[in-house]
């Protein structure tokens, strides 16, 4: 049965997710591919990593960049949990396509590995990433074949709703791009996450001061 936790910022909701998983001793693949083209201080990546370690996961780093399908299968089969970090969603999808690893990852998740997404990692779990072009630089992935995500869920997750840093992206086109979109859309604040169990899901709200 599929089990996913889709967040805007895992660091803000990790303590609540930890109540749903017996994390101690579980091996977690920290897949940071999406962050590889991001510039500046990647404090949000460090914050997610620290939160996951604090939850009790036995974490190891991984990237899909320059990997083959067999590499990805070998590297990730030892993991109990697959974590996809934030960053550029288009770049992440291009690396998934270049490594031909989508089906490998889908089989792992459908076979019982837990999937945790943060920002781009949550977006890629849905059916389509094209609307996020108003937030992510699509030029970072000039070799994309299409915009299809993993399709673990039948809705699109748009992260960081209400956050000042993303206000311009939402107002400049992101809202308009999803208005007539064929897929359901869920806007997530940094203090919410979606828990998916099989074909059912619910949005959880985490209290913050």
Contact 157, 193 (CB under 8 A): no
Q: In terms of Cα–Cα distance, which of 195, 196, 198, 193 is closest to 208?
A: 193
**What are the tens digits of pLDDT across the range 85-106?**
999 999 999 999 999 999 999 9
Alpha-carbon span 95 to 93, nearest angstrom:
5
- Cα distances from 132 to residues 56, 135, 152, in angstroms, run 32, 5, 18
Rounded distance between C-alpha atoms, residue 84 and residue 190, angstroms: 16
User: What are the sequence ranges of the domains in the chain?
Assistant: 3-205
Active-site residues: which are they?
A: 119, 160
**Residue 132 to residue 40: CA distance in whole angstroms:** 21
For residue 149, which of 107, 189, 92 has the smallest C-alpha distance? 92
Contact 173, 200 (CB under 8 A): no
- 29 neighbors 60 (Cβ within 8 angstroms): yes
Specify the pLDDT at position 109.
Answer: 97
pLDDT at 160: 73
Residue range 3-205 in CATH 3.40.50.880: yes
Contact yes or no for 89/34 (Cβ under 8 A): yes
Quick check: 166 and 192 in contact, CB under 8 A?
Answer: no
pLDDT the model gives residue 132: 76
Predicted model pTM: 0.92
The 3-state DSSP class for residue 198 equals coil
CA distances from 177 to 99, 148, 174 (A): 29, 16, 5
How many CB atoms within 10 Å of residue 205?
A: 11
Tell me the per-residue pLDDT of 151-209, one tens digit each, with 9 for 90 and over. 999 998 888 766 666 656 655 656 666 666 677 888 889 999 999 999 899 999 998 76
């Amino acid at each position: 049965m599929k089990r996913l936790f889709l967040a805007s910022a895992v660091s803000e909701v990790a303590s609540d997710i930890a109540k749903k998983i017996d994390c101690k001793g579980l091996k977690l693949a920290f897949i940071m591919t999406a962050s590889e083209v991001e510039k500046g201080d990647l404090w949000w990546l460090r914050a997610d990593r620290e939160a996951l370690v604090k939850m009790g996961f036995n974490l190891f780093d991984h990237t899909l960049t320059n990997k083959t399908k067999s590499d990805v299968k070998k590297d990730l089969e030892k993991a109990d949990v697959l974590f996809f970090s934030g960053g550029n969603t288009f770049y992440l999808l291009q690396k998934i396509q270049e490594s031909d690893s989508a089906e490998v990852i889908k089989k792992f998740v459908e076979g019982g590995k837990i999937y945790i997404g943060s920002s781009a990692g949550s977006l890629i779990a849905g059916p389509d990433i094209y609307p996020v072009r108003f937030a992510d630089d699509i030029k970072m992935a000039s070799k994309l074949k299409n915009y299809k995500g993993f399709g673990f869920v039948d809705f699109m997750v748009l992260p960081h709703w209400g956050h000042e840093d993303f206000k311009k992206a939402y107002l400049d086109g992101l809202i308009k791009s999803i208005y007539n979109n064929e897929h359901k859309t869920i806007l997530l604040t940094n203090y919410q996450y979606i828990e998916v169990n099989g074909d059912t899901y619910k949005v959880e709200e985490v209290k913050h001061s």
